Amino acid sequence: MTRTAIITGSTSGIGLAIAHRLAAQGCNVVVNSFSDTAEDHAAAESIAARHGARAAYIKADMSKPAECRALIAAAAERFGTADILVNNAGIQHVAPVEAFPVEKWDAIIAINLSSAFHTTAAAIPLMKAAGWGRIVNIASAHGLVASPFKSAYVSAKHGIMGFTKTVALEIARDGITCNAVCPGYVLTPLVEAQIPDQMKAHDMDRETVIREVMLEKQPTKEFVTVEQIAATVSFLCSEDAAQINGTHISVDGGWTAE
């Protein structure tokens, strides 16, 4: 049976790597963003061509509840099922609490937390009807520990952890699992683009900035790769992980071990 996987926020970075990994394993794949550009559609076409899989791009703004739920419905209409849901979409903003823009708080909570509620609520009935499902929430090391100036992000990711546990308990007898992955610092194109600015700001060379600034809390002093996150998600979606439910896997180089 061919499974259908829906990955939110998946036209670049971690989400795109997850889409490629699941397509390589034979899944139909739905990639998503809010932008609906030629590049977005090309990402889906590239996945299909590379892996011989069926792939589609579906536009949905994860800050809008109705669009979150419509994404699941559209995917199920397109492929007939919605077996795997990976809640990956996320944004970030850094500021002290007293100066944190209200609109940024609202957007981060909506996209990083509430969207997972809406997509999951829409997907569960389809998974129950099929008697099988996998829900994987991309949380963060910040779902387990905090850092200053990231109040909305930390709050949303802690919320995702609680949501994961609650959903897992509710669907435990339905052939469905719900788990979280907690990445540390991942080398995505967005992170890579920050390195030159950090070098200039701290008057450090590239390797020093990575080791002492960006990876200060990551004991291995190495970035997590998007492929490593994708492999972890793939495992949680497998039959081998059928009894892993309501928990998390940290992929953070030891950050949260301290």
The pLDDT value given to residue 3: 98
Which H or E element spans position 59? strand 55-59
Contacts of residue 66, Cβ cutoff 8 Å, sequence gap at least 6: none
The pLDDT value given to residue 1: 85
Q: Is 121 helix (H, G, I), strand (E, B) or coil?
A: helix
Q: Which of 153, 163, 223, 255 is catalytic?
A: 153
Domain 4-184+225-257 has CATH 3.40.50.720: yes
Which H or E element spans position 133? strand 133-138
**Residue 31 CB burial class (10 angstroms; 0-12, 13-18, ≥19):** buried
Can you tell me the distance from the alpha carbon of 188 to that of 49, in angstroms, rounded to the nearest whole number?
Answer: 23
Can you tell me the distance from the alpha carbon of 142 to that of 233, in angstroms, rounded to the nearest whole number?
Answer: 18
Pinpoint the alpha helices (H) of the chain.
Answer: 13-24, 38-51, 65-79, 102-109, 115-130, 151-170, 189-202, 206-209, 226-236
Domain spans of the chain, in order of start: 4-184+225-257, 187-223
Our answer to whether residue 153 is catalytic in this structure is: yes
The pLDDT value given to residue 190: 75
pTM of the prediction? 0.96
**Residue 182 CB burial class (10 angstroms; 0-12, 13-18, ≥19):** buried
Question: What's the residue count for the chain?
Answer: 258
Which residues of the chain have a pLDDT value below 70?
none
Place of tokens 């701290």: 202
> For residue 96, what are its two tokens?
């002290």
Can you tell me the distance from the alpha carbon of 34 to that of 16, in angstroms, rounded to the nearest whole number?
Answer: 14
The pLDDT value given to residue 20: 98
